[in-house]
Amino acid sequence: MRADIAFNTTDGTTLRGWHYVPDGAGPFPTIVMAHGFSAVKEMYLDDYAAAFAAAGLASVVYDNRNLGASDGTPRQELDPWLQIRDYSDAITFAQSLKHTDPARIGIWGSSYSGGHVLVVGAVDRRVRAVVSQVPLASGYHGFRRIVSADHLAPSFAMFADDRRRRAAGAPPAMVPVVTQDPAQPAALPTADSYDWFTRTQAERAPAWRNEVTLRSLEYGLGYEPAAYIAQISPTPLLMLVAVDDTLAVSDLAIAAYARALEPKQLVLLRGGHFDAYISGFAESSGPAAAWFQQHLR
């Protein structure tokens, strides 16, 4: 059902992950999947891929560059535009597999990658169906929602200082992804982020690292995936939004969905940003599998 895979991007970076194949005779519709901000594939992507396999859908699941099992430097750096290009390279790889029907490709993303699939769905016409789960809709407005006003000026000062140091030859500055101390800077400064990442690391992903380059935050600040949402049509779009999401911010995602054109569907999930992976898994995976089944027949 699952095999290890490795493929090269157009710039020669090797990405590694898993290939899930359902029972029966192929070729199969295939879903290309990567995780969100700093997360690695062991953080519940295996559960989604298994659910899709049970629905007759193959999956190509991989770690984003610079993270987990994939190559790339600087380690722990998240560049959304490079990750978007990697999605398209992963589609090319998926289409080369004997178990894949190359005319039936879907993409799935969650959180940060939930924003990525909005862009990929708009610009890569090989994609026949898009599922965007608890997506980041706006890097700038999302940043302003989770960073208090008194921390804005220090954040921009940190970005400027990091640029000066890197120009002088220093390595990129690092910042924790999550922290229990609200006074300490973190990339995802919410209590539910700390709880989910630390618990999931302990239970499923011991190789996950609680750090990213500071430059990753600056990259994210200028990232506006919802600007592409009206261009996804006529490719079908399913958006899954958690009603109490204070990280990706539910009202920003819902406002973005309103700008999408048909065919589209919105599913509201109970709970916060991370509930979709665990307590709300059936609520999130079921509609996604049904959407792919419907549009990748």
Give the residue with greater pLDDT, 297 vs 48.
Answer: 48
| pLDDT value of position 3 | 98
pLDDT range class, residue 72, cuts 50, 70, 90: very high
pLDDT recorded at residue 45: 98
Q: pLDDT at position 224, please?
A: 98
The 10 Å CB-count burial string (b at 16+, else e) for 237-271 is bbbbbbeebebbbbebbbebbeebeeebbebebeb
For residue 148, pLDDT beyond 80:
no
How many of the other CB atoms lie within 10 Å of CB of 192? 18
Query: Residue range 145-162: average pLDDT?
Result: 88
Tens of pLDDT, residues 76-135: 999 999 999 999 999 999 999 999 999 999 999 999 999 999 999 999 999 999 999 999
Whether residue 190 is predicted with pLDDT greater than 90 in this model: the reply is yes
pLDDT at 151 over 90: no
The class level of CATH for 2-141+223-295 reads alpha beta
- The pLDDT, as a whole number, for residue 296 is 98
Note the pTM of the prediction, 2 decimals: 0.97
176: preceding bond cis by omega (within 30 degrees): no
- pLDDT-derived band of residue 183, with 50, 70 and 90 as boundaries? confident
Query: What pLDDT score does 172 carry?
Result: 96
Q: What is the pLDDT of residue 150?
A: 78
Residue 51 tokens, joined: 């659910």
Asked if pLDDT for residue 149 goes beyond 90, the answer is no
Domain boundaries, the chain: 2-141+223-295
**Confidence class for position 255, pLDDT limits 50, 70, 90:** very high
Q: Are 229 and 252 in contact (CB under 8 A)?
A: no
pLDDT-based confidence at residue 179 (cuts at 50, 70, 90): very high
Mean pLDDT value across the chain: 97
> How many other C-beta atoms lie within 10 A of the C-beta of residue 209?
16
Q: What is the 3-state secondary structure (H, E, C) of the chain?
A: CEEEEEEECCCCCEEEEEEECCCCCCCEEEEEEECCCCCCCCCCHHHHHHHHHHCCCEEEEECCCCCCCCCCCCCCCCCHHHHHHHHHHHHHHHHHCCCEEEEEEEEEEECHHHHHHHHHHHHCCCEEEEEEECCCCCHHHHHHHHCCHHHHHHHHHHHHHHHHHHHCCCCCCEECCCCCCCCCCCCCCCHHHHHHHHHHHHHCCCCCCCCEEHHHHHHHHCCCHHHHHHHCCCCCEEEEEECCCCCCCHHHHHHHHHHCCCCEEEEEECCCCCHHHCCCHHHHHHHHHHHHHHHCC
Q: Does the pLDDT value for residue 152 go beyond 90?
A: no
